[in-house]
Structures are given as structure tokens and as C-alpha cells.
Chains A and B, each alone.
Chain A
């Protein structure tokens, strides 16, 4: 049986048509943002420059692709149709008459569907890991910068210790199948996932300690939700079975948080050392506010600009790290559709077939590019103020 093909023009049209929910979502969000851009603050200002619009557009594109992956992708990312092995782009699958838009890979899976599903993995792990790294970096960087002295020396030494590790070596040591038999990843997860709970508890405590009505609600919510997520992620003991993470994904997650939190720590520490010399900090000290109140409610809000920019860049960097992990076959399952693994599989066969290699590379590049453009334009906008 011979595979039939459609032409290049039809491939382009078909791909554009498959992304219809994404275009719809993009149009709605972009349209709304344009209409109300005056009222949207920093986010609205992004729409003043071409670079900002492109950045937001690319990021939203991949966000909607990840959300609507089941609608966009014609095939299951793991399903194999033997006749489509190494099929060229535009091959028509004989049974369902659906099209392999970007061809099939060496295991006869649809490259297009794998690229679309790959976005889900990246868009869940990269922002979440960055969020945790931010929490760890902020919670440790604030006291290091504010108090200085011995606590700063110790924490900075530890941060430099991690930063002196070449990332790739760190991953080869921390993300191995063997290490899952030891308690190390779980201990690290237990430690890192504690930081958000500590952060929010201290945040609410310092602000509302004289207003019990608010304090009890907020602290209760933090502890219940935090504890629930904590139990689900670290001990895999979520009583409602909603929050669940595979052991190897937990391993990757922990390694990525571990690799990127010292960077956040250094930035926060530097910002705090700069901001703590300002007059409003001195005013708060004179008022007799507690140190943690000053750190969390006076200094942190004023450091938000550089931190938001850094967070954008860091999500992109985390995406690159995830790709590196996939490229070396560390952590993620070999059949996982994430972009790094797909690039690894395809790059070994570049001599014979190039079409499975291009979609994941371009996807990864465009997503990171979108985040970098976004960060760049955020930086420009925040410098204008």
C-alpha cells in the first residue's frame, strides 16, 4: 500500500486550520488587551512596541497550543501507524484519512502531534519550576541582603557552590535512574516545596498579625492548600488523587529548581542591598516595623520590575535546560513527546531524514525567543518610568 501525499501549499493551509482554537484564543486575548491597554498597567504598555506585541503573541500562541493540545493534534503522540514510518510531510494516513502534516518519525508517530503535545510538558514544568526557584531565591535572598553579615556569607557561599557546578554535570549527577532509589530527590523536594508555604505564611503574618479576622483566613488557606499540594508532590499522598507527579518528573523538577534558584538568590540579594538604603526603608525602620515586614512589604514590591524581567528570561532558560535534559536522555521517558527528546531522536538520523528534526527545534527556539522578546520589552517599559 502506498502513502499518498498532499502538496506543500495544502500542508501550510492544513496546519493553520488545525490551530484554529489557538487563533481564536489569540484573537480574543490580543483584541481585549488592545482595547483596554490603558487600564492594564505594565502589561498594557507591552502593546506599545512591536517587539512587545510579537513577544506576547508567541508566548500566548504556545500557551493556547498547550491548553488546546487535544483539539489541535490530529493523532495521539504515542500512537504508531507502521505504514507511516519515516513518511514525508503531508502523508495521508490510509485508515483515518487524517494527514501527517510534518511527516512521521522513525517510530511512525506523527511529528506534528508530538510537537503540539510537547508544548504541554514544557509549559507545565518550565513556569512551575521557575516559580519555585523564585520562591526559594526570594525567601533566602531577602535576609541575606537585608541582614548581611554571617547569614549572607553562608548563604552566598552555598549559592556560589551550586553556581560553580557546570549545569550539565549537575544533571548527570542528580537526574539518573539510580538516584530515584535513594531518598535524595524526595529530601530535596521536601526542602524546596517548603519554601512557598514559609513565604506566604510570613507574608500574611507580618501584614495582618494585628487583624486576626483576616490573618486566620489567609493563614488557614495557605496552610491547607500548601499542605495539600505538598503532600501530593512530595509524598504522592494526595487524599483526593488530583495532584500527582511521576517520580522521574519530580526528579527533573527538583534538579531544575536546584540549578536555577541560586541565580534568583543572587539577583534578589543585590536588589535588596540597593533598596535597603532608600528613605522609605529608613522610615519603616523608624516606625518600628519588624525586619520581615520591611523585607516583604517595603523592599520586595519595589524590586518587582527586575524580578519580573528575570522571571521571563528564566522561564526561557529553564525551557533550554529541559531541552538539554531531553537531548541527553536524562529523566524524561524515552517516548516522551517533549521537544528535547524529539530533537535527540531526530538529530541521530539527520543524514537520511531531516523533517522530524525541524518542528521541535523551531518550536523550542520560537518559544524561548518569545519569552526573551517579552523580557526585553518589559525591561524597556520599566526603564521608562
Chain B
């Protein structure tokens, strides 16, 4: 088991290395650097000035040198001020070092956000916290509801409850966040006026009024999928021999479902819920943009839209990490929950 986890962690590190290198390459393509230089300098700068801005801020160094610096395996060099010849900070707003120093991801330095004029860490981590709250609320709504629907539907396969709930779950998987968000806003904010169509005020304080719509929108897309997986697993368990034995012993249907079927039927949904995180990430981006909630997704879109290199790299590092770590947890947890599975 331990060697399995260690091997998986090794693969994970390799995957993250490859992915960050790909992201680094794509962000630093020539058109993107041009765009960054234009947005960071004054209006109507000539091509030479743009080029000199890029050189002065260290964007013209060798690709691998810069990647190494970002990673923290090569020392970050201060840039030389062309006028005085003295070393100066690359960006004054985030205390870049004045002497060569190892300062990258491995040392915990995420770099400098050119859009928000601050360090990436001071922008990214509060945003992650805000998104964490949103995610917690979503999971607290999504998991119980979807498990309940799945169990009710899978309890008696082919019954009317089963068919109704199955079609409802299919409908919910066919409703992406930008569709359900619009429909919910129309119904609950424009028409009934019960809820706020914007969650911008949620950064000051979360209330039922401003936070329900984003949570609802995010939860609905996942509910259908988890419910369907739970149903399939429940249907499978209900046909097993031990369930028939329990029934023939004279136990009531309810007691069979709760005591015998439920525990075995919940193993598969655990994996599914864990693997749902990457999907939630995309949903988070859509919902946060739609309801103007200042979280991780909002930061990612701002970073991508303004070609904020370090911030976008930080965002991708975080999201890739979340995807990989949830995959690992789901594999390990599955082996724990289901003793029949032996991990090789």
C-alpha cells in the first residue's frame, strides 16, 4: 500500500512537472508576451520600447532558464537598470530580490501578478479560501441529495419512482452551469425576487440571499451524475445473494436497505464524488464569473484575460494539483473501503 502511494506521488510529481512546462510554454508564446508588454506599458509605445520592456523584465531569457527560475531550481537574477547599471527589482510592487536568489515554487514563492500589482500568493490564497467556502456549501448540498435520489431510485429497479428520478437525473446532467444559472436567475431573481442574482456582496458576508443561487447552480450539474452512479451501484447490490438471504430471513425491506445494502452501495459513489472535483473546477469558473463572486475561478479568468503569467501559472498549478490529489484520494480510499480490491 505504502509503495503504491509513493509510486503514485512520483507519477503525480512528474505529471505536474510536464503540465506546468506545457502551460509555461503556452503562456510565453510570442503573441502573449506582446500582449502583456502592451498592457503593461503606456499607450502608443513603439515596437522597440515593447521589446526593451520585455528584455528589462527578464522575459527574453532562455525558456528553460526562466522555467527553472519559476520552479526554483535556478537562481532568480535581478534585472539591471539600463540607465544606472545597478541591479533593480523586476517589479517593485512585490519585493523581488536585489541579489541572485533561489526563489520559485519549490521555495514557496509564486511570483508576481502583473494585473493586480501584488504577489501571486496574496491574491491567489484568499481567492482559494473564498472558493473553498463555495465548494463546501456545494458539497454539503450536492452529496446528500444525490445519494438520496440514487438510493431511492436504485432500491426498486424499474419502479415508477426509479423511472421518474432517472429521467430527472438525466435532465440535470444535460444542464450545464451557464444554462441552469440563467434559468435560476430568471426564476428566482428576476421573476420571484427571492434571491440576489449577484454574489458580489458574498465576500463581505455570506447570506442565504446572495449565496443560494451560485450553490444551487453548481450543485445541480453534479447531482444527476452522482445520483446515476449511486443508482447503478444500488441496483447492482440489490441483486446480490446476501440481500436475498436477508430478505428470506424475514427482515423488513427498509432494514435490508439501510443495514445491508447501503454500506456496500456507497463505495462506488465515493470514487465518483472524488472524481467530480475536476468538473466542479470548470463549474466554479463559470459560476463565479456569472455571479461575480471573487474566488479562484474569477481570478483564473482575470489572469487568463490579462495574460498575467505568474498568476495564471499559479492557478494552473493549483487546479492540476487538486485534480491529481483527488484522483489519488479516490484510489486509496476505494482500496480502504473495499477490502476485496488489492492495489498492485
Q: Is the CB–CB distance between A351 and B300 below 8 Å? A: no
Most chain A beta-carbon contacts within 10 A, residue among B173, B312, B315: B173
The one of B23, B29, B281, B300 in contact with A178, judged by C-beta atoms closer than 8 angstroms, is B29
Q: Is the CB–CB distance between B179 and A323 below 8 Å? A: yes
Cα of A365 to Cα of B183 in the assembled complex, Å: 11
The reply to whether the CB of A361 lies closer than 8 angstroms to some CB of chain B is: yes
Q: Given A178-B29, A368-B174, are A161 and B15 also a contact pair (CB < 8 Å)?
A: yes
Q: Which of B251-305 contact A (CB under 8 A)?
A: 278, 281-282, 285-286, 289-290, 297, 300-301, 304
Q: Would you call the interface of chain A mostly helix, strand, loop, or mixed? A: helix
Q: Is the CB–CB distance between A324 and B176 below 8 Å? A: yes
Contact with A along B1-43 (1 / 0, CB 8 A): 0000000000100010011001100110111101100000000
Cα of A166 to Cα of B316 in the assembled complex, Å: 8
Cα of A38 to Cα of B179 in the assembled complex, Å: 38
The one of B166, B179, B191 in contact with A364, judged by C-beta atoms closer than 8 angstroms, is B179
Q: Is the CB–CB distance between B173 and A164 below 8 Å? A: no
Cα of A340 to Cα of B19 in the assembled complex, Å: 28
What is the total number of residues of chain A having a CB less than 8 Å from a CB of chain B?
Answer: 45
Cα of A349 to Cα of B243 in the assembled complex, Å: 55
Contacts of A173 in B (CB 8 A): 23, 26-27, 304
Cα of A358 to Cα of B285 in the assembled complex, Å: 22
Contacts of A179 in B (CB 8 A): 26, 29, 31
The reply to whether the CB of A181 lies closer than 8 angstroms to some CB of chain B is: yes
Cα of A164 to Cα of B325 in the assembled complex, Å: 10
Q: Is the CB–CB distance between B178 and A176 below 8 Å? A: no
Q: Is the CB–CB distance between B19 and A168 below 8 Å? A: no
Cα of A368 to Cα of B189 in the assembled complex, Å: 25
Contact with B along A146-183 (1 / 0, CB 8 A): 00000000000100110011111100111011110110
Q: Is the CB–CB distance between B190 and A350 below 8 Å? A: yes
The reply to whether the CB of A373 lies closer than 8 angstroms to some CB of chain B is: yes
Q: Is the CB–CB distance between B178 and A324 below 8 Å? A: yes
Q: Would you call the interface of chain B mostly helix, strand, loop, or mixed? A: helix
Q: Considering the complex, give the chain B residue whose CB is closest to the CB of A340.
A: B178
The one of A164, A182, A365 in contact with B179, judged by C-beta atoms closer than 8 angstroms, is A365
Could you list 25 A-B pairs, sorted by A, with CB under 8 Å?
Answer: A157-B15, A161-B19, A164-B19, A166-B323, A173-B304, A178-B35, A179-B26, A181-B31, A182-B30, A323-B178, A328-B301, A346-B182, A347-B185, A347-B290, A351-B197, A354-B191, A357-B182, A357-B186, A358-B186, A361-B178, A361-B183, A365-B174, A371-B174, A372-B170, A376-B166
Q: Is the CB–CB distance between B186 and A354 below 8 Å? A: yes
Q: Given A169-B319, A369-B174, are A327 and B286 also a contact pair (CB < 8 Å)?
A: yes
Contacts of B285 in A (CB 8 A): 166, 168
Cα of A95 to Cα of B323 in the assembled complex, Å: 56
Report the minimal beta-carbon distance from A379 to chain B, rounded to whole angstroms. 10
Q: Is the CB–CB distance between B197 and A165 below 8 Å? A: no
The reply to whether the CB of A268 lies closer than 8 angstroms to some CB of chain B is: no
Q: Given A182-B29, A357-B186, are A168 and B300 also a contact pair (CB < 8 Å)?
A: yes
Cα of A241 to Cα of B82 in the assembled complex, Å: 54
Report the minimal beta-carbon distance from A167 to chain B, rounded to whole angstroms. 5
Q: Is the CB–CB distance between B182 and A347 below 8 Å? A: yes
Contacts of A351 in B (CB 8 A): 190, 197
Q: Is the CB–CB distance between B186 and A350 below 8 Å? A: yes
Q: Is the CB–CB distance between A347 and B181 below 8 Å? A: yes
The one of A51, A165, A350 in contact with B182, judged by C-beta atoms closer than 8 angstroms, is A350
What is the total number of residues of chain B having a CB less than 8 Å from a CB of chain A?
Answer: 52
Q: Considering the complex, give the chain A residue whose CB is closest to the CB of B14.
A: A157
Cα of A373 to Cα of B228 in the assembled complex, Å: 13
Report the minimal beta-carbon distance from B132 to chain A, rounded to whole angstroms. 16
The reply to whether the CB of A271 lies closer than 8 angstroms to some CB of chain B is: no
Contact with A along B103-145 (1 / 0, CB 8 A): 0000000000000000000000000000000000000000000
Cα of A350 to Cα of B170 in the assembled complex, Å: 27
Contacts of B183 in A (CB 8 A): 358, 361
Report the minimal beta-carbon distance from B150 to chain A, rounded to whole angstroms. 15
Q: Considering the complex, give the chain B residue whose CB is closest to the CB of A169.
A: B316
Q: Given A324-B176, A365-B175, A372-B170, are A176 and B32 also a contact pair (CB < 8 Å)?
A: yes
Contacts of B15 in A (CB 8 A): 157, 160-161, 164
The reply to whether the CB of A343 lies closer than 8 angstroms to some CB of chain B is: yes
Interface residues of A (CB under 8 A from B): 51, 157, 160-161, 164-169, 172-174, 176-179, 181-182, 184, 316, 320, 323-324, 327-328, 340, 343-344, 346-347, 350-351, 354, 357-358, 361, 364-365, 368-369, 371-373, 376
Cα of A166 to Cα of B170 in the assembled complex, Å: 23
Cα of A51 to Cα of B158 in the assembled complex, Å: 13
Report the minimal beta-carbon distance from B210 to chain A, rounded to whole angstroms. 15
Contacts of A324 in B (CB 8 A): 176, 178, 282, 286
Report the minimal beta-carbon distance from B192 to chain A, rounded to whole angstroms. 12
Q: Considering the complex, give the chain A residue whose CB is closest to the CB of B280.
A: A166
Cα of A316 to Cα of B315 in the assembled complex, Å: 28
Cα of A182 to Cα of B319 in the assembled complex, Å: 26
Report the minimal beta-carbon distance from B114 to chain A, rounded to whole angstroms. 16
Contacts of B312 in A (CB 8 A): 172
Q: Considering the complex, give the chain B residue whose CB is closest to the CB of A347.
A: B182
Report the minimal beta-carbon distance from B233 to chain A, rounded to whole angstroms. 16
Q: Is the CB–CB distance between A181 and B182 below 8 Å? A: no
Contacts of B319 in A (CB 8 A): 166, 169
Q: Is the CB–CB distance between A51 and B32 below 8 Å? A: no
Contacts of B30 in A (CB 8 A): 181-182
Contacts of A316 in B (CB 8 A): 174
The reply to whether the CB of B54 lies closer than 8 angstroms to some CB of chain A is: no
Contacts of A371 in B (CB 8 A): 174
Report the minimal beta-carbon distance from B29 to chain A, rounded to whole angstroms. 6
Contacts of A167 in B (CB 8 A): 282
Q: A164-B320, A364-B179, A371-B174 known; 13 other A-B pairs, CB under 8 Å?
A: A164-B327, A167-B282, A169-B304, A172-B304, A320-B176, A324-B282, A340-B178, A347-B181, A354-B186, A357-B182, A358-B182, A373-B167, A373-B170
Q: Given A350-B182, A350-B189, are A164 and B323 also a contact pair (CB < 8 Å)?
A: yes
The reply to whether the CB of B47 lies closer than 8 angstroms to some CB of chain A is: no
The reply to whether the CB of B324 lies closer than 8 angstroms to some CB of chain A is: yes
Q: Considering the complex, give the chain B residue whose CB is closest to the CB of A158.
A: B18
Report the minimal beta-carbon distance from A222 to chain B, rounded to whole angstroms. 33
Most chain A beta-carbon contacts within 10 A, residue among B23, B182, B327: B182
Report the minimal beta-carbon distance from A361 to chain B, rounded to whole angstroms. 5
Q: Considering the complex, give the chain B residue whose CB is closest to the CB of A174.
A: B26
Cα of A320 to Cα of B167 in the assembled complex, Å: 19
Contacts of A346 in B (CB 8 A): 182
